Amino acid sequence: MPPETPPILSDGRLTLRPPASSDAFDILEGCQDPEIIRWTTVPSPYDISDARTFLNDRLTPTQWWRNPTWVITESDNRWIGTVDLRPDGQGAAEIGYMIAPAHRGSGVGTAAIRLVCTWALQQWGLQVITWQAVTGNIASRALARRVGFRIHAEPLRLGLAHRGTRVDSWYGELLAVDLTPPVSTSSTGRPKSPAVALTRREQQVLDLIAEGEPNRAIASSLGISENTVKNHVRALLEKLHARSRTDAVVRGVSLGLTSLPH
């Protein structure tokens, strides 16, 4: 019996489809991003042959079901990111994802990962989805937490092999009961924009404040000075009309900009 056709997932704004050969040049461009190179194991330097090798391993239904992989697209059907599952054959799968630099902070990652996790846990029959990232990958951690992953406070010592060496990793898991509800949408089906627009660095600082981190720890995690952290905190208080760090977190949670640790 031939394998089932890979599912296409959509929330009205995004469409997640199987990879196609035509995605190669968009993936090539995305994988030039220093943050993708820093935090993932994509080849570096990354050239068109790497993109084609990645795609050629996923083009047939048989290949796809070994490592379910979706290309994230909007109305023009072009690659703006990837979400994949690595099943263990016993009811669990590890999730991986990357989002094109121009689309970070727009809600694309959260919506796409939620689509995949909802399908996998409610329709495909997975019992648990696991997540890991190199310690320090604040953006990946914040994204996973917004979807509903329960992230452990203590890192897994030498939990990942990363570019030839073992490093500590953050890790967590998601069950069907953990999935956070999607953000509210407008009459067009598009997510409503939050009333506050944060820069990427402000978002990272807010997420770390929500985790209870002091300025010194935030500075160390982000590789910036404490004075720079203080400047970002002041900007957050102003944008959120907050009187204190705690008030900023409360307002950020209410606006869907961050979440409290589980």
**Alpha carbon distance 64, 58 (integer Å):** 5
Indicate which CATH number applies to the domain containing 208. 1.10.10.10
Residue 88 and residue 148 in one domain: yes
Q: Is the pLDDT of residue 204 over 60?
A: yes
Domain boundary among 178, 210, 226: 178
Q: What residues pair up with 177 in beta bridges, in sequence order?
A: none
pTM of the model: 0.71
Does a structural domain hold residue 126? yes
Q: Which domain holds residue 166?
A: 9-178
Give the residue, 251 or 217, on which the prediction is more confident: 217
Q: Which of 73, 17, 34, 27 is nearest to 51 (CA)?
A: 27
* CA distances to 106, 152, 225 from 238, in Å: 21, 31, 20
List Cβ neighbours of 45 (8 Å cut-off, separation of 6 or more): none
pLDDT band at 197 (very low <50, low <70, confident <90, very high): low
Residue 205 and residue 250 in one domain: yes
Does a structural domain hold residue 4? no
Q: Which of 142, 134, 255 is nearest to 205 (CA)?
A: 142
**Alpha carbon distance 122, 127 (integer Å):** 9
Residue 135 and residue 232 in one domain: no
Q: Tell me the three state secondary structure of residue 130.
A: strand
Residue 36 and residue 141 in one domain: yes
pLDDT digits (tens, 9 = 90+) for 19-66: 999 999 999 999 999 999 999 999 999 999 999 999 999 999 999 999
Indicate which CATH number applies to the domain containing 143. 3.40.630.30
Packed helices 138-147 and 200-210: angle between N→C axes, nearest 10 degrees: 70
Question: What does the CA dihedral 55, 56, 61, 64 come to, rounded to 10 degrees?
Answer: -50
Does a structural domain hold residue 174? yes
- Give the Cα-Cα-Cα angle 27, 144, 262 (nearest 5 degrees): 175
pLDDT band at 241 (very low <50, low <70, confident <90, very high): confident
Residue 185: its pLDDT value, please?
46
